[in-house]
Structure formats: structure tokens, C-alpha cells
Amino acid sequence: MIAGKQQIQQSQLFSLKGSILTLSILTLISFTYFSFKSLRPPLPFSPPTRQITLLPSSATNTTTPSQPRIVADIKENHVAEENDDNDGDLFTDVYHSPKLFKLNFEEMEEKFKIYIYPDGDPKTFYQTPRKRTGKYASEGYFFQNIRESRFRTDDPDEAHLFFIPISCHKMRGKGTSYENMTIIVQNYLDGLIAKYPYWNRTLGADHFFVTCHDVGVRATEGVPFLVKNAIRVVCSPSYDVGFIPHKDVALPQVLQPFALPAGGNDVENRTTLGFWAGHRNSKIRVILARVWENDTELDISNNRISRATGHLVYQKRFYRTKFCICPGGSQVNSARIADSIHYGCVPVILSNYYDLPFNDILDWRKFAVVLRENDVYQLKQILKNISHEDFVSLHNNLVKVQKHFQWNSPPVRLDAFHMVIYELWLRHHVIKY
């Protein structure tokens, strides 16, 4: 009995030793195989599926608050290595992520739908723009373009976003006071909420309104739940007055129609270092005029150029200037930025707290000089330190983005309207339903 047990134990011991020996041999073979394999040239790398992030460049913000990233989950190997022949030079490095922008833009064109609330008398403050001229033309063009575009839907159930078509610019044109503007906006919104179920689904997160004039900002600030919840598309996107970059959208302030044709590809004609002329209606403009108005290399005037000096003298200055100074006025924004871009003069942004238009998409450092207001004292030296090669690069890139700061009727692909719509498309993707 005892002898039998000893035989069984010895058998188990030999079996265990055999297993260990077998495992050791297999391990040795495996190491040898992988060692030899490592001597072979590597296989071509196939990029894994991963997240691609489209985010505002921290360098292009004129302040430093953190901005949540807008993320698109797509497969990198689905992005074509070469642009389509039809796209030509459209998608270049003036964008943060050219390939991603191209892919998302095409998806937006195919799928994005916006419902316009039909309520409100068009002859008063609703539905139609006051006008499509002047420095607040952007608001008018948007109201017009949204009805002309493929993105409008008459079926609210297929809509991704809802447009609240109330125009504070029209209220201003009719002499409405700020207090009455706020009441009108409040009543109109209350009516929509009572009549339709859509606001309450997200508490307004999938709704947006558009206002370019600063009176619109003041009027809507009196309706806190609108400002807090809905997407604001505004020409005065200043962080210090409640603008939320990842939620709200910066609307470019474009003075249309332009008085003269677009400039560009004419660097040899640009002999003036810097130019600004305007009213001293802000602290930064007062400093700019005081420090530099007598300078021999910077063309700085502390008032608008009088028409009596000649026909379109102000606009023609843009054609012969390298850098056009764009300080904030009564608001952080200025129509001078779009003027500079149109006339081929590299804009010098001199404004704090300004979330630049299309900052999620465009790399402003590629076609503009972005400074803090305190840099005004070193302005000339900063501009003179920019080499001729760098200036030519900025100028050439500026020509590439001109189409993004132009309104058309009907809208044209990649124009200002489509860029604003694309910004809204990005916001739609981060709304929690």
C-alpha cells in the first residue's frame, strides 16, 4: 500500500518535471523565433483607428481660458491621403486639420438640417433681415442665406438645430429701446416654448440665434436662460462679457458690399509698414493714436479719413500696406479685420478677450499677426521683425482665406455662411440629448 503511494508520488513528480521541461523548451523556441524576427525589416505601418480632435489653437486665442475640445470619432485611415481633384488647393495648411475639415464639411453638406421657427410677423422684427449692407450686413446675409440653402428643413423632426429668427438689428432700426427689446425677445421665446416641444427637450441647447449689432447682445442678456442655454452667434465674441467659446459662435463682421475689388498677390506694391485710421472710441485706440500717429513708418490717423481728401482714399490705403492694424473699438470685434483680409493687407489683431471668427477651423497665425493690447507699445518693432519671407507667406495664406470672409446670395460653398454653418455643425455634435 505504502509502496504504491510512493510510486504514484514519483510518477507525479516526473510528470511535473516533464511539464516544466516542456515549458522551458517552448519558451526558448519562442524567444529564438522572435529574436530572429526582429532582424527582419518591419512591415509597413497601418495606422490604428483612433480619435481625431479638432480644437481651437491656443495660440490664436487672445486670452487664455481653457476651451473644451470638439471631438469627432473617425477612422484616420478613412481620410484620403490626397485631396480630390475637384478640391484643388482648397484644403491647405491654413486650417488646423485640413483633412478632418474636408471630411466633416462634406458630411455636413450631406446631412445637416436646420428648422426655422415660422412664428412672427416678417414686417416687424422676425424672419427677414433689416438689410444686407453696412457693417452689420452679416446678420442680414445669414437670415437671407439660411432660407436659400440646402440646410433648411420644414420638418422639425429631422432637424439637428433650431433657428430662432428674431432680429435685434431690425429692432434698432425701428428705434426700440433696450428694455423693450428684452421684453420682445422674452415674449417671443415664451411663445415658442409654449407652442412647440423642441426647446424643452434640451432646455434650448439645440437652438441658436444670430445678432451682429452689439445692441443684440445687450437685448438678449436680459433673457438669462436664452443666453445660458442657446447657441449665440454674435459679432462681438468677448470672453469677458459671457461669450462661451465651445458653445457660442463668433460671427465675422463684414462690411459689404466692398467698395473695391479684392487685393492679393501684389506684395511688391505694399510699401507702407502699417496702417490704421479710425475713431478713438476705446482705450486701445487712444493709446495707438497717441503713441504712433506721428511715426514716419506707420500710417496712423486718429480719425477716419475724410471723403473730401479724395475718392475711396481710405480703402486704397489697404492696397499699399503690408500690415493693417485692427484694434478693438466699442467691442472687441471690428469690421476692419474683414476689410484687411479682402484687400490683401495682413491684419494685426490688437484686442484682448477676442475669440476670432472660425478659430476652431482656421489657424490665424498663418495669415494674421495676433497680439495683446499691451503689445501696442512695441508695435513697430514687432512688425519690422517679421522677415520678408514670413510676410509673403502670411500674405499668400491671406488670399487663400478671403473666400471665408465673403457673404453671397445665394450662398457659395466655403463662404462666410457655410463657415458659420460648419461651426454650428460642430456644436451640434457635443449637445447631449
Name 173's Cβ contacts closer than 8 Å, sequence gap at least 6: 130
Burial (0-12, 13-18, 19+ Cβ within 10 Å), 375? middle
pLDDT at 127: 83
How far apart are alpha carbons 299 and 286 in whole angstroms?
A: 15
Indicate the angle between helix axes 416-429 and 98-111, nearest 10 degrees: 90
pLDDT at 304: 67
H or E element at residue 110: helix 98-111
Residues of the chain with pLDDT under 70: 1-91, 237, 239-241, 304-310, 330, 332, 432-433
267: cell is: 506684395
- Give me the phi and psi of 362, to 5 degrees please: -95, 140
What is the per-residue pLDDT across 368-418, written as a single tens digit (0 to 9) for each? 999 999 999 999 999 999 999 999 999 999 999 999 999 999 999 999 999
Residue type, 417: F
How far apart are alpha carbons 213 and 201 in whole angstroms?
A: 30
What is the per-residue pLDDT across 92-147, written as a single tens digit (0 to 9) for each? 889 999 999 999 999 999 999 999 999 988 888 888 777 788 877 898 899 999 99
First to last CA, the chain: 76
pLDDT at 239: 59
What is the DSSP pairing of strand 346-350 with strand 369-371? parallel
Q: Are 324 and 301 in contact (CB under 8 A)?
A: no
Burial (0-12, 13-18, 19+ Cβ within 10 Å), 234? buried
What is the DSSP pairing of strand 70-72 with strand 52-54? antiparallel
Q: Which pTM was predicted? A: 0.78
Q: Are 148 and 411 in contact (CB under 8 A)?
A: yes
Assign residue 332 a region (left: φ > 0; alpha: ψ between -120 and 50; beta: otherwise).
alpha
